[in-house]
């Protein structure tokens, strides 16, 4: 808001116009949602299957590291928070640092994907994507980088197909989902409070509005009110809001989760904690985390409401890796990846850890 | 008048649901929808509250037993309402905390200078206690149970609505969402087969010696040949079927003409 209030009529008219324009902008953002150009680092699709797409990112910078990085994203939101916008993109940063970067985007599940499960994604899709990355990069080793649920899938994959994995990086990855570590999510997903089959039988997939509401309710005042208080402040005080627009667009763009995956996620992870107990089986094959011996960088946020520190830290004891490091950053689930904190925290940490291990 | 033993029985509590189901979607193929879902939940809740009677089927048909069950359910509903009221009462101290905090934070640095300043201060003053209050609510077991029942009822109603619209569209001979899903499933299946084929070809192109490659190619040719034969047989069968259908159609037309 302008501090100087004009007294002449044209000045007052201009002020009124300006205020009306700002109020209209704010109202449109609330009603229509944020629009922003996201995911702009140049890329090409090098493989696709069903809705899944494997992207290979380009850069003017010459490739300086032999070992490519494959990002495995979660199934709850779109993956462009890894490549939010120019200057605020983790992928852009890595590409500019000379890394060869690939991203596996699972796409948006349709009603025909209701039976899709971790078994399909980890045993069929991931091995195929990995082969494609290795062929494209012309190497026989790669760095597997999993974020959130993508980290859990990376662990399942690494346990069953350890060959070729040069490094493993886990970011905000739930591993030990015993009730004392899982907070509100754990309580909501507990057996007496939630039966995932009710949703799967009624809708097929987990509807995006359920996924969005579930996540937003972990911090309801900030997500439903604080977000708009910040928005009005930025609009009325003429502050730059491109970052807010991009983040808001990403946060509002929840996607449906395949019914089979949702059922496994709730039952096998939150209700029975099968991954940490070594009881998880994919098509009869046991996921044994101690079989993973690749160097491990495990990162979690101390302000994360979705994945708590002990949940992620459990990987340190369960994996068979000798070279392993746990890093706690002062950030939330998404703040780990983007923004000023990420530029000073996560990005350089990953680069410094990977550089000597990517030759 | 015949003395029907059934006429002495008490009302069957599942009967209204059964009738509703039969009147609406009873004719549809069996699926995930539970016709007695609402009743079952009600009944399960009743059993959960320790009010259940023995599982004797004859006894449950008795009118007096039904009345006792009804009384039990009413008591259970009352208990739940009381639980919720207690939960709300537990939130009262939080409201008091909010009322105390509000003027202190709002007026701590003098009066707000503009509406935005006022809103920001209001948010800062209320967000903490409000978050705590909502967290208390969201972690309360009674509230979570209520939420679970709401979700289950909502999901059942959604299923019912989806089934009804499917039936209406099918009767109108319009494509339904399950038809589209079936086609999409076929496309996905085809996509996966193509991907596997591409993977095999990729394998041939990368890192295999000439002999293995030739063997693989021969095997692949054989597979494609078999696939073509199957397709030919399938097309021939489809042609035969069309031919027969046309003959039947023509025959029916002839009969109509002859009957005039």
Give per-residue pLDDT as tens, A110-142: 999 999 999 999 999 999 999 999 999 999 999
Q: What is the mean pLDDT of residues A313-332?
A: 95
Nearest chain B Cα distance for residue A66, angstroms: 19
The confidence score (pLDDT) of residue A6 equals 63
Which of B106, B125, B115, B118 minimizes the C-alpha distance to A23? B115
Condensed to tens digits (0 to 9), the pLDDT of residues A203-226 reads 999 999 998 888 888 888 888 998
Task: Specify the pLDDT at position B80.
Answer: 77
Output the pLDDT for position B254. 44
Query: Which is more confident, A57 or A10?
Result: A57
Whether the CB-CB separation of B62 and B9 falls below 8 Å is answered with yes
What pLDDT shows up at residue B66? 78
pLDDT, tens digit, for every residue of A93-115?
999 999 999 999 999 999 999 99
Higher pLDDT, A181 or A160: A160
Q: Which range is most confident: A241-245, A289-293, B145-149, B254-258?
A: A289-293
| A214/A194 Cα distance (integer angstroms) | 12
Distance CA B122, CA B106 (A): 6
The pLDDT, as a whole number, for residue B251 is 52
pLDDT value for A111? 94
How high is the pLDDT of residue B61? Answer: 62
Residue ranges for chain B with pLDDT beneath 50: 1-8, 27-33, 50-55, 252-260
Does A136 participate in catalysis according to the annotation? no
Model pTM score: 0.77
Taking an 8 Å cut-off on Cβ atoms, the answer to whether B152 and A219 are in contact is no
Rounded CA separation B199/A333 (Å):
36
Report residue B1 as tokens: 């008048």
Please judge whether B138 and A49 are an interchain contact, meaning their C-beta atoms are less than 8 angstroms apart: no
The predicted pLDDT at position B215 comes to 79
Contacts of B148 in chain A (CB under 8 A): 192-195
What is the pLDDT, as a whole number, of residue B2?
40
Specify the pLDDT at position A218.
86
What is the side-by-side order of every strand in the sheet holding A52-57? Answer: A43-49, A52-57, A101-105, A69-72, A142-147, A165-171, A296-301, A324-329
Cα distance between the two ends of chain A: 54
Task: Name the β-bridge partners of A43.
Answer: A57
CB contact under 8 A, A187 and B144: yes
**How confident is residue A5, by pLDDT bands cut at 50, 70 and 90?**
low
- Predicted pLDDT of residue B51: 47
d(CA B179, CA B193): 21
Query: Is A66's pLDDT higher than 60?
Result: yes
With beta carbons under 8 A apart, name residues in chain B contacting A237.
116
Q: CA-CA distance, A229 to A339, in Å (whole number)?
A: 19
A113–chain B Cβ distance below 8 A for any pair:
yes
pLDDT of A153 strictly over 60: yes
Is pLDDT at A255 greater than 60 in this prediction? yes
Amino acid A49: pLDDT = 94
HSE, side-chain direction, 13 A CA sphere, residue A147: 27
For residues A324-335, one letter each, b for 16 or more C-beta atoms within 10 angstroms of the residue's C-beta and e for the rest, the string is beeeebebbbbb
**Of A164-178, A326-340, B22-36, minimum mean pLDDT range:** B22-36
Q: Which alpha helices (H) appear in chain A, and where do they start and end?
A: 9-32, 90-96, 118-120, 126-137, 149-160, 183-189, 196-203, 208-216, 220-221, 227-236, 242-252, 259-264, 274-277, 309-313, 315-318, 339-344, 346-354
Cα dist from B112 to A112, B173, B252, whole Å: 55, 65, 88
Residue A183 DSSP SS3: helix
Among B144, B191, B195, beta carbon nearest to A193: B144
Model pLDDT, residue B25: 53
The two tokens of residue A272 are: 């029975």
Whether the predicted pLDDT of A331 surpasses 50: yes
CB contact, 8 Å: B156 with chain A? Answer: yes
ipTM value for the complex: 0.79
Could you give the CA distance from residue B193 to residue B197 in angstroms, rounded to a whole number? 6
Query: Is B184 in contact with A112 (Cβ distance < 8 A)?
Result: yes
Average pLDDT, chain A: 92
* B15 in A contact zone (CB under 8 Å): no
């Amino acid at each position: 808001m302008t501090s100087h209030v004009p007294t002449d009529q044209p000045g007052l008219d201009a002020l009124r116009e300006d205020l009306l324009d700002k109020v209209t902008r704010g109202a449109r953002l609330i009603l229509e949602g944020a629009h922003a150009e996201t995911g702009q680092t140049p890329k090409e699709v090098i493989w696709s299957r069903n809705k899944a797409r494997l992207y290979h990112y380009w850069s003017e910078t010459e490739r300086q590291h032999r070992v490519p990085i494959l990002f495995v994203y979660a199934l709850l939101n779109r993956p462009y928070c890894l490549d939010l916008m120019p200057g605020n993109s983790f992928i852009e940063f890595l590409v500019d640092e000379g890394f060869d970067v690939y991203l596996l985007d699972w796409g948006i599940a349709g009603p025909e994907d209701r039976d899709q499960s971790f078994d399909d994604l980890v045993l069929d899709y991931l091995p195929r994507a990995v082969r494609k990355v290795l062929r494209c990069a012309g190497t026989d080793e790669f760095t597997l980088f999993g974020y959130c649920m993508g980290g859990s899938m990376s662990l399942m994959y690494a346990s069953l197909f350890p060959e070729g994995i040069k490094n493993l990086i886990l970011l905000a990855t739930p591993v030990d989902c015993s009730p004392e570590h899982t907070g509100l999510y754990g309580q909501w997903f507990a057996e007496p409070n939630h039966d995932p089959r009710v949703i799967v039988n009624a809708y097929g997939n987990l509807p995006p509005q359920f996924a969005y509401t579930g996540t937003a309710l972990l911090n309801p005042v900030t997500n439903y009110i604080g977000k708009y208080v910040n928005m009005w402040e930025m609009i009325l005080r003429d502050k730059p809001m491109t970052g807010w627009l991009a983040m808001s667009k990403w946060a509002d763009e929840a996607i449906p989760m395949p019914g089979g995956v949702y059922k496994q996620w709730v039952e096998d992870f939150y209700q029975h904690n099968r991954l940490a107990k070594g009881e998880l089986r994919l098509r009869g094959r046991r996921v044994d985390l101690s079989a993973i011996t690749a160097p491990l960088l495990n990162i979690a946020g101390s302000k994360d409401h979705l994945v708590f520190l002990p949940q992620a830290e459990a990987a340190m004891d369960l994996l068979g890796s000798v070279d392993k490091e746990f890093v706690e950053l002062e950030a939330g689930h998404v703040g780990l990846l983007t923004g000023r904190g990420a530029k000073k925290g996560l990005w350089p940490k990953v680069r410094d850890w990977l550089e000597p291990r990517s030759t | 008048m015949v003395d029907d033993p059934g006429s002495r029985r008490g009302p069957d509590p599942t009967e209204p649901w059964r009738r509703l189901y039969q009147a609406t979607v009873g004719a549809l193929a069996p699926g995930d929808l539970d016709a007695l879902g609402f009743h079952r939940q009600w009944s399960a809740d009743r059993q959960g509250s320790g009010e259940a009677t023995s599982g004797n089927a004859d006894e449950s048909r008795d009118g007096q037993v039904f009345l006792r069950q009804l009384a039990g359910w009413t008591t259970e509903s009352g208990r739940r309402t009381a639980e919720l009221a207690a939960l709300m009462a537990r939130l009262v101290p939080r409201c008091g905390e909010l009322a105390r905090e509000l003027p202190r934070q709002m007026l701590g640095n003098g009066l707000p200078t503009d509406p935005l300043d006022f809103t920001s201060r209001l948010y800062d003053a209320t967000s903490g206690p409000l978050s705590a209050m909502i967290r208390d609510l969201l972690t309360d077991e009674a509230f979570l149970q209520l939420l679970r029942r709401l979700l289950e009822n909502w999901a059942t109603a959604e299923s019912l609505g989806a089934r009804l619209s499917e039936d209406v569209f099918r009767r109108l001979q319009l494509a339904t969402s399950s038809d589209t899903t079936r086609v999409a499933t076929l496309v996905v299946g085809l996509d996966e087969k193509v991907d596997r084929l591409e993977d095999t070809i990729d394998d041939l192109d990368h890192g295999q010696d000439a002999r293995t490659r030739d063997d693989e190619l021969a095997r692949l040719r054989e597979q494609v040949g078999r696939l073509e034969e199957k397709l030919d047989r399938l097309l021939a069968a489809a042609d035969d079927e069309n031919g027969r259908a046309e003959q039947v159609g023509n025959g029916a037309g002839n009969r109509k003409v002859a009957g005039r």
